[in-house]
Chains A and B, each alone.
Chain A
Amino acid sequence: MHDPPRALPVASERRASSPGSRGSAFPPHTVRRVPPFVRACVIGVLFIPAGALGARGELIPTPKFSDHAIPTSTVPDVGSEVPMVLDVAILLGALGLASYFTLVIRSRKHLLALTVASLVWFGFYREGCVCPIGATQNVALGIFDSTYVVPIATIAFFLPPLVFTLFFGRTFCAAVCPLGAVQELVAIRTATVPRWLDHSLGLIAYVYLGASVIFAATGTAFVICRFDPFIAFFRRAGNTNMLIYSASVLLIAFVIGRPYCRYLCPYGAILRVLSTFSRWRLSIPPGACVNCRLCENVCPYGAIHPPTVTPSAQSRARGRQQLAVSVVAAPLVIVGFTWMATVLAAPLSQWHPEVRLAEQVRIEESGLAEKSTDASDAFRNSGRSKEDLYASGIAWREKYRTLGGWLGAWTGFVIAVKLVHLSIRRKRDDYQAERSGCVSCGRCYWYCPVEKVRLGLIQDVSEAIDGAKPGASSAVARAPEDAAV
């Protein structure tokens, strides 16, 4: 007999919930191999009590010792945490400072310092939790699930950036959000994303917002947290997939400014809308614009747009036609997407563990699966009927047919609004930061020659333009015509 005694694996494949099998846990050949002393113990401890257990599944009694009290394990208290009040106070302070630096002293240097500070505190020290981005999900779950309690800290993180954005623009994105801060610091050599691509990719964030709210509200998953691209850096730990994903986003952030903020961040999507209505916001230049285009060139996020030219009558007519078409098309787009998205019921519902389990059990029952999973084994031992599981799985899938429809409607709505928005022309006299796209990083302050004159750093605009970019003076003359695009 060269095989090792395979006694307990046989038993371990059975469950504690089948007490009748206990007596056969050690097949005879195993017992033959062990010394008589041990055999006595096996019989004593295992067999006799197991026999006494009978079919009722009672436990082996805990012995009474002559001079040894049976101890009790203790469990530790909740570890000391940074007080919630301190965290919220720091958030509010940082928001206030970011808004002050952006709007009052207009200083890129101060904003940069605050960005680093936020990255250190909210990112590396607090390890990216709580963050307002993820708090969106807690709020969604809190609204739809009355048994879930949203922590006060989470509410206090979710709301203030929204209110600040309504008044001061996206100053939260500028220097408070740790995810923004990471990308801000690596946005060194950024390429310009073509306008059409920028607009299209920007829609992903809204769809992501819709999907994450649906997943959170149904208690299915917190996808924003699961796919947080920088949490692995903040924790300096993570599994391989997370690290590859994080590294990819970070590498992309070197060549495309803030890819997560612009194309994925669901909270950023909310802030973009709110920022459109902000009372004050970053503005450039502080005086008469010299059309040097430095701000447009330096903005890594493509958020500074050139002045508009007066459109010709023909182009006006085309614009009106475009607007009419997009307004008429809007309901069709919404209905179309709603209809299309109901087919997403199956893939969307698979995010729900109940549906995954039901599908796995179904596959195993039909003999298509090579082996069972931990989950399906556990299900079979739970005593719950397959029919019950299937019914629950089907119910969830039907629920996701409706939810998929809602997600489709939301996607259609977002696309329709985008189309209408793109068809409306707005008059811009100067180079101006776009209301929604500008994250108030303040890079343009650093470069704007008019700003430099205001600060008294230079006497005249021409000094800065010649100094910063040889030949830029020709751009001054060229700019308004080019801007017609």
Chain B
Amino acid sequence: MTDTQPTGDRRRFLADGIRVAGVVAAGSLGGFLAGRRGYAAESRWQIDPDECIGCGNCATYCVLDESAVKCVQCFDMCGYCDICTGYFDPRYKKLDTAAENQLCPTDALIRTFVEGKAGQNFYEYTIHVEACIGCGKCVKGCALMNGSLYLQVMHDRCVNCNECAIAVACPTQAFVRLPSARPYKLKRAAVALIRRKSESGEDDTGDARRLIERVNTDA
């Protein structure tokens, strides 16, 4: 390239000016974005369980083969019902654990007898996380009663896409970005219960404290 003519000099000067301006602009944009907000509050996707309607999109829209969304049981909200509306298919033939009687398509909700008293049998319902596909069928069923079952994005699985595919498909805009330090949510009704449990002496295992430490309790 032979840029020895005056036009060449002028053009080069202009280009130099633009480059300097570009670098300054890039630097100030970076400074503006980084400095004003800080590093602390990077976000992760989460479901607001109070907004979730258990539509089933979480099972199918996640970019992972096995959805990062799983069901969580809030035992402190659970009625330990015998006829659990989250466990039994409304068209059940018998109230037993046979597959055709269950709502859960993958047998991920486990029913365990706890105690019988005052003529009632009480069962505990736990989630088998590996089997759960996040379809929300049990969540929808449970919502008829106490609503103790709820869906959450599991952050050991979630790849934190820039635009969560489930969030796009979510009919109730239940997906929110939460600061990654506390990337989980509880139902509003459960926050006080779990907090009280964590602060009382009942929390032998420390699980309540561990949960409340991971939960974002902002509105």
Chain A interfacial positions (CB closer than 8 Å to B): 4-9, 11-12, 14-16, 22, 25, 34, 38, 40-42, 44-46, 49, 59-63, 65-66, 68-79, 127, 129-130, 134, 137-139, 142-143, 148-152, 155, 159, 162-163, 166-167, 221-222, 225-226, 231, 235, 237-239, 274, 277-279, 283, 353, 373-375, 377-378, 381-382, 429
Contacts and interface: CB of A to CB of B under 8 A. Distances in A.
A379 to B, nearest CB: 8
8 contacts: A22-B145, A44-B82, A45-B82, A63-B80, A78-B44, A79-B157, A151-B43, A231-B63
B156 interface: yes
Contacts of A166: 18-19, 22-23
Contact of A66 (B41, B115, B157): B115
B145 to A, nearest CB: 6
Given A4-B91, A68-B114, A142-B33, A42 B156 contact: no
Interface string B75-89: 111111111010011
Given A12-B140, A59-B146, 20 more contacts: A8-B144, A15-B143, A25-B144, A41-B83, A46-B81, A63-B117, A69-B202, A72-B194, A78-B180, A129-B160, A129-B161, A143-B32, A149-B37, A149-B41, A149-B43, A166-B19, A225-B162, A353-B173, A374-B171, A375-B171
A75 B76 contact: no
A41 B82 contact: yes
Interface string B191-219: 00010010000111101101100110000
A138 B146 CA distance: 39
B24 to A, nearest CB: 11
Nearest to A25: B144
A149 B30 CA distance: 12
B65 interface: yes
A8 B156 contact: no
**How big is the B interface, by class?**
35 or more
Contacts of B163: 137, 221-222, 225-226
A16 B143 contact: yes
B99 interface: no
A68 B75 CA distance: 12
B162 A38 contact: no
Given A41-B120, A151-B42, A130 B63 contact: no
B127 A73 contact: yes
Contacts of B141: 8, 12
Given A65-B115, A279-B19, A163 B82 contact: no
Interface in B127-166: 127, 140-141, 143-147, 152, 154-163
B166 to A, nearest CB: 12
A138 B163 CA distance: 10
A76 B168 contact: no
Nearest to B103: A8
A373 B44 CA distance: 28
A31 B49 CA distance: 32
A148 B41 CA distance: 9
Nearest to A354: B173
B79 A152 contact: no
B6 interface: no
B95 to A, nearest CB: 5
B29 interface: yes
Contact of A75 (B1, B41, B120, B184): B184
Contacts, number: 229
A424 to B, nearest CB: 12
4 A-B pairs with least C-beta separation = A8-B90, A60-B79, A222-B163, A375-B171
B91 A6 contact: yes
B162 A222 contact: yes
Interface string B14-28: 011011001100100
B147 A429 contact: no
B33 A143 contact: yes
A361 to B, nearest CB: 12
B79 A38 contact: no
Nearest to A153: B42
B10 interface: no
B110 interface: no
A277 B15 CA distance: 5
A72 B207 contact: yes
A78 B162 contact: no
Contact of B119 (A7, A11, A40, A49): A40
Interface in B55-101: 55, 61, 63-65, 72-83, 85, 88-91, 93, 95
Most buried by B among A59, A73, A221: A73
Contact of B211 (A25, A60, A75, A429): A75
A41 B113 CA distance: 14
B199 to A, nearest CB: 13
Nearest to A222: B163
Contacts of A148: 43, 177
Contacts of B211: 72-75
Nearest to B120: A44
A167 B19 contact: yes
Contact of A5 (B1, B18, B91): B91
B102 to A, nearest CB: 13
A96 B94 CA distance: 68
A149 B73 CA distance: 31
B33 A150 contact: yes
B2 interface: yes
B81 A79 contact: no
Nearest to A223: B163
